[in-house]
Structure 1
Amino acid sequence: MLTRLQNAVEQWGGKNKLIDQWLNNRRQLLIHYCQLANLPPYDNSPQLPDSDGVHHFCNLLVDYVSEGHFEVYDQVVSECEKHGEDSRQLASRIVPQIAKSTDVALDFNDKFGAPFDDDDERMMELDEALSRLGQAMEERFAFEDKLLDTLHRHYSEELQAQP
């Protein structure tokens, strides 16, 4: 996921402030995800994450999902509609696919977003829930990147067509 993010930043970074902010927020989300899931390069802690860390991650997760749906997708879809039927159809197929991961993210937040004690039963389910969420977010990022690629491709074509 971090490699995909780096590729996205290299490909689309610097083109639009909203997209730059969005990709930066994705980076923060992924860093916190890797820390919670004890994944490289944050795989040096043998203990379970604390309630504050999980709660902070849930806030980042909801913010990222909300920002996508209520700010970024609208702008990207609007731009895709300007670039013809193929782009509009692609956007109309991709956005519902992204919505599936939103449900997984909101379910995760509903379950783990509230503060808990170290001996809370939910902690026994955290690893499996993180795994499920990670898979959903990986798929989401791939769909988001398709939207960004379509927008970038048409933006690049417009720049090349200008004298």
Structure 2
Amino acid sequence: MLKKLENAEQKWGGANKLIDQWLSSRRNLLVNYFQVAGLPPYDSDEKSLPPFENVKTFCNLLVDYVSEGHFEVYDQVVTACEKQGESGQTLARELLPKISSSTDFVLDFSDKYTSASSDNILLELDDDLSRLGSSIENRFAYEDELLEVLHEYYS
């Protein structure tokens, strides 16, 4: 996922402030995901659960990222798609529901870990992070298609 982000930053970075901000938010989210999941380069010899507060912080970043897309970025993307004609409109209509389906998963994940009354919930974290990773990776792929439209519009 980080390699794909680096490719996106190289391809679209610097074209527009909104795109740069969105990619920066994605980077921050991914770094925190890797830290919480204990993935390289944040893995350690000691296999232990992350602190519960780190998981809650990650959940906040996750919700912030999703909210930024839905309430700041997607509207501008849809406008750009509309100005590019029928093909752009069709793309937006196809991609936004796919992105929204991952939003439900993200919110469920966040609710589960931020509303938990005990850190025993962390025993389920590995499996949940694995499913979340797949979901956000798919989301990023759909968002990248939207970023391409934004990039073309602002270039």
Q: Aligned-pair RMSD on alpha carbons?
A: 1.4
| Residue identity opposite 2:60 in structure 1 | N
Gapped runs of 5+ residues in structure 1? 157-163
User: 2:42 matched to which residue of 1?
Assistant: 42
Query: For the Cα contact (< 8 Å) 1:55–1:114, is it kept in 2?
Result: no
Give the fraction of aligned pairs with identical amino acids, expressed as a percent. 58
Give the TM-score of the pair, scaled to structure 1: 0.89
- Normalising by structure 2, we get a TM-score of 0.94
Corresponding position of 2:16? 16
Q: How far did 1:117 drift?
A: 4.4
Query: What per-residue deviation string (whole Å, max 9, x for no partner) do you get for residues 72-93 of structure 1?
Result: 0111111111011101100110
Q: Give the counterpart letter for 2:147 in structure 1.
A: L
Structure 1 or 2, whichever has the larger Rg, is 1
Per-residue CA deviations over 1:46-91 (Å, capped at 9, x if unaligned) read 2210011001000000000000001001111111110111011001
Structure 1 runs of 4+ off > 6 angstroms? none
Q: Is the 8 A contact 2:106 2:132 kept in 1?
A: yes
Would you say 1:127 and 2:126 are equivalent positions?
yes
C-alpha distance in structure 1 between counterparts of 2:100 and 2:89, whole Å: 17
Q: For residues 71 and 24 of structure 2, what CA distance do their matches in structure 1 show?
A: 17
Do the aligned residues in 2 keep the contact of 1:51 with 1:115 (CA within 8 Å)? Answer: no
**Offset from partner CA, 1:114-158 (integer Å, 9 cap, x none):** 36544x2x11111111011100000000000011112323544xx
CA 1:116–1:52 in 2, change beyond 3 Å: closer, same or farther?
Answer: farther
Structure 2: 5+ residue stretches without partners:
none
The range that moved more, 43-52 or 20-29, is 43-52
Q: Number of paired residues?
A: 154
**What pairs with 1:82-121 in structure 2 (closer than 5 Å)?**
82-114=83-115, 116-118=117-119, 120=120
- Letter of the 1:95 counterpart: L
The answer on 1:31 being equivalent to 2:31 is yes
SS at match of 2:48: coil
Distance between the aligned counterparts of 1:125 and 1:73, measured in 2? 32
